[in-house]
């Protein structure tokens, strides 16, 4: 069976007007228009299966939103091919539009001056949703996201988090099989972020809906996306398991061990020969590869009666920063 989403050698370039600096330059540019080409997405290829949650990662300006806009048919690709649920998004056929949805954290899609409940009714009629389906879905979504008492308040009076939840409900009422979420938790507090994540996870599990997500909050990606597609300056860098990528970038963990008494100096010397350690007030810190932890810990426990230790993975944000600074080092 072919994949639900098939992206092949997709490319998008924008023609941008080149403006010369200063007033003189502006006048000159006005009479002699010069353009340059900006290639926002370069030869991206990937498939997504039904029920997957895939995270699209990349720095600001990497091309994530451009990629999503092509997948929903808002932008025409410069070259390459794209099949979403067997439709060419650019044709914007009704059957295609009924099967997808897009939520953008930085764009308001609900009507500002009317309550969300009325925008929902509008969607009901646009998507031709039956009364029965509408009532069941709307009530379920409203309760899952906990916004029942906000339904009849003008959207512009809602908080950012409440509005985002309403946006998500509006996007799911017609039961699309693919949902694109472009920074759905942008600007939300940690509790709202985590509520939205829990909701997406549960919804995906129960409905087998496919989610394509972008987010700069690494926690969203860690908790939701087993698989990530990483782009850098429009180019594909990585397609695969997120944890494996992090381990590849940063294979080390941090072990801290607290001695009960001042440790034997010879033993510390011996450790220094093999590991990169630091000892502060009887507390030992070592960064080392996961497969060496067991060995070292056995050694430490043999030398000390202390049982106070912890093993922490190094921060994922740091790993991603290192990756984007010099991707060639890790691939
Ligand atoms: N309509 C447009 N015309 C000209 N250039 C554009 C247009 N849309 C996007 N770009 C450029 O394409 C590049 C990719 O933009 P895009 O919005 O896809 O990045 P992004 O990965 O979504 O970034 P962010 O994380 O900041 O949202 C940027 O350099 C941007 O300036
Ligand atoms: Mg974007």
Query: Radius of gyration of the chain from Cα atoms?
Result: 25
pLDDT at 137 exceeding the cut of 80: yes
- Answer yes or no: is pLDDT of 183 > 90: yes
Ligand nearest to the CA of 57: 1
Q: Looking at the structure, do residues 155 and 291 belong to the same domain, yes or no?
A: no
- Identify the band that residue 277 occupies on the pLDDT scale cut at 50, 70 and 90: very high
Residue 107 domain boundaries: 5-247
Could you tell me if residue 150 is inside a domain? yes
Instruction: Indicate whether residue 58 lines ligand 1 (CB < 6 A).
Output: yes
| H or E segment and range at residue 84 | strand 79-84
Do both 172 and 263 map to the same domain?
no
Looking at the fold, whether 268 and 303 belong to one and the same domain comes out as yes
CA distances from 259 to 220, 282, 286, 308, 328 (A): 37, 5, 14, 8, 40
**Is any atom of ligand 1 closer than 6 Å to the C-beta of 267?**
no
**Number of compact structural domains in the chain:** 2
Mean pLDDT of 15-28: 80
- Could you tell me the distance, in angstroms and rounded to a whole number, from the CA of residue 235 to the centre of ligand 2? 15
Same domain? 81 vs 114: yes
Residue 30 has pLDDT above 90, yes or no: no
Query: In the chain, pLDDT over 70 holds for what percent of residues?
Result: 100
Question: In the prediction, which pLDDT does 316 show?
Answer: 92
Q: Assess whether 100 and 151 both reside in one domain.
A: yes
Task: State whether the beta carbon of 326 lies less than 6 angstroms from ligand 1.
Answer: no
Q: Tell me how far the alpha carbon of residue 198 lies from the centroid of ligand 2, in angstroms.
A: 23
* pLDDT at residue 251 is higher than 90: no
List of residues 6+ apart from 281 with CB closer than 8 A: none
Report residue 79's pLDDT band, with 50, 70 and 90 as the boundaries. Answer: very high
CATH code, 303? 3.30.70
* Shared domain check, 257 and 161: no
| 279 and 265 inside one domain | yes
CA 48–ligand 1 middle distance (angstroms) = 23
Identify whether 77 is part of a domain: yes
Q: Is the CB of 62 under 6 A from ligand 1?
A: yes
pLDDT at residue 298 in the model: 94
| Residue 329 in domain | no
The DSSP secondary structure of 202-220, one letter per residue, reads HHHHHH--EEEEE-S-HHH
On whether both 88 and 230 belong to a single domain, the answer is yes
Specify the CATH number for the domain of residue 187. 3.40.50.300
- Structure confidence at residue 155 (pLDDT): 97
Report if residue 323 sits inside a domain. Answer: no
Domain for residue 286, yes or no? yes
Residue with the nearest Cα to atom 3 of ligand 1? Answer: 14
Work out the pLDDT band at 32, boundaries 50, 70, 90: confident
89 and 151, same domain (yes or no): yes
């Amino acid at each position: 069976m072919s994949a639900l989403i098939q992206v092949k050698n997709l490319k998008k370039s924008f023609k941008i007007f080149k403006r010369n600096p200063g007033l003189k330059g502006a006048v000159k540019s006005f009479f002699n228009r010069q353009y340059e080409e900006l290639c926002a997405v370069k030869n991206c290829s990937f498939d997504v299966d039904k029920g997957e949650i895939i995270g699209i990662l990349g720095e600001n300006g990497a091309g994530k939103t451009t990629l999503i806009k092509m997948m929903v048919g808002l932008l025409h690709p410069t070259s390459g091919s794209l099949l979403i649920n067997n439709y060419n998004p650019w044709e914007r056929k009704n059957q295609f539009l009924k099967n997808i949805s897009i939520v953008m954290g930085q764009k308001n899609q609900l009507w500002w001056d009317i309550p969300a409940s009325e925008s929902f009714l509008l969607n009901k009629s646009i998507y031709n949703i039956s009364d029965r389906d509408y009532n069941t879905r709307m009530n379920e979504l409203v309760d899952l996201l906990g916004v029942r008492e906000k339904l009849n308040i003008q959207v512009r009076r809602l908080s950012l988090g409440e509005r985002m939840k309403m946006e998500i409900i509006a996007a799911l009422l017609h039961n699309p099989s693919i949902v694109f979420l472009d920074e759905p938790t942008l600007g939300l507090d940690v509790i709202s972020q985590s509520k939205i994540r829990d909701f997406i996870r549960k919804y995906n599990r129960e409905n087998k809906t496919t989610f394509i997500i972008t987010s700069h909050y690494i926690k969203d990606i860690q908790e939701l996306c087993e698989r990530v597609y990483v782009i850098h300056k429009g180019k594909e860098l990585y397609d695969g398991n997120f944890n494996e990528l992090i381990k590849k970038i940063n294979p080390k963990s941090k072990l801290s061990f607290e001695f009960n008494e001042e440790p034997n100096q010879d033993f510390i010397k011996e450790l220094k020969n093999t590991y990169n350690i630091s000892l502060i007030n009887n507390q030992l810190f070592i960064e080392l590869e996961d497969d060496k932890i067991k060995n070292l810990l056995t050694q430490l426990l043999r030398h000390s009666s202390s049982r106070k230790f912890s093993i922490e993975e190094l921060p994922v944000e740091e790993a991603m920063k290192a990756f984007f600074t010099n991707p060639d080092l890790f691939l």
